[in-house]
Amino acid sequence: MRIEISEATGRDVEEISALSIRTYVEAFGADFAPDDLAHHLAQTLSVARWNAYFSRDRVLVARRGSDALGYIQFGPSDDGRGVEIRRVYVLAAAQNQSIGTQLLQAALASPECRMATTLYVDVREAMRAPGGSTSGLALHIMERRNPFG
């Protein structure tokens, strides 16, 4: 069955929150103590947080049939100079099927990204594939920063 990319709206907030929590836990859950993980998820990926994100950002969802498999969140950068791709996550069971690439390509084709003079994409070093790219897309590291400090 074909992957469909569509835009999520505020009506999808519960589904996006659940998907974001599931994908985050799959990717990084082992890096946290259980209480710290629960606190982090409540602070960053809860329904309340997603309501705030939807007021600022766009979210595209990859689906196979009615099953949400991944998403990308992007919007204006904090410095106001461009667009930031804030999150790209795909369920572990759906990885290595080019879904992340399709989500990124759809976001890059958006008017905001096409017109942006600067595009920010955060990639955790642990998530990068051997050879320095993510999902076969070449990324040039312009700046390294610690997201927690």
Ranges of residues in the chain whose predicted pLDDT is under 50:
127-140, 145-149
Q: Where are the domains of the chain?
A: 3-127
Entry pTM: 0.84
**pLDDT value of residue 103:** 96
Contact 104, 85 (CB under 8 A): yes
Which fold does the domain 3-127 belong to in CATH? Aminopeptidase (3.40.630)
Q: How far apart are CA 142 and CA 124, in angstroms?
A: 14
Residue 53, CA distances (Å) to 33, 139, 140 in order: 26, 25, 27
